[in-house]
Amino acid sequence: MPTDPIVITVRPNGPLKIRGPAVVQRSDGEILSQEANVALCRCGQSSTKPFCDGTHKTIPFQAE
């Protein structure tokens, strides 16, 4: 039974949105998330790194 692909969407001036059966894992092997939908911080200012908490809207963050 094939699984749907993981889709990563780069949001303009926002997070990386990951949709699909993804595992977010630290370099030491600790699993941080096994959710089907996750937003990862790109601005570097989130208080919940590596996850997005919306801070990019208040600083304001401009992606290259």
- What is the rounded average pLDDT of the residues 43-52? 96
Domain-located, residue 46: yes
Residue 2 has pLDDT above 90, yes or no: no
Domain-located, residue 47: yes
The two structure tokens encoding residue 18:
């990951």
Residues 6+ apart with CB under 8 A from 40: 15, 16, 18, 24, 50, 51, 52
Domain-located, residue 26: yes
Alpha helices in 1-64 (DSSP H): none
pTM (predicted TM-score): 0.86
Domain-located, residue 19: yes
pLDDT score of 3: 76
pLDDT score of 60: 87
Domain-located, residue 2: no
Contact 20, 6 (CB under 8 A): yes
Please give the tally of structural domains in the chain.
1
Q: What is the pLDDT of residues 7-43, one digit of tens each?
A: 999 999 999 999 998 899 999 999 999 999 999 999 9
Domain assignment of residue 12, given as a range: 7-57
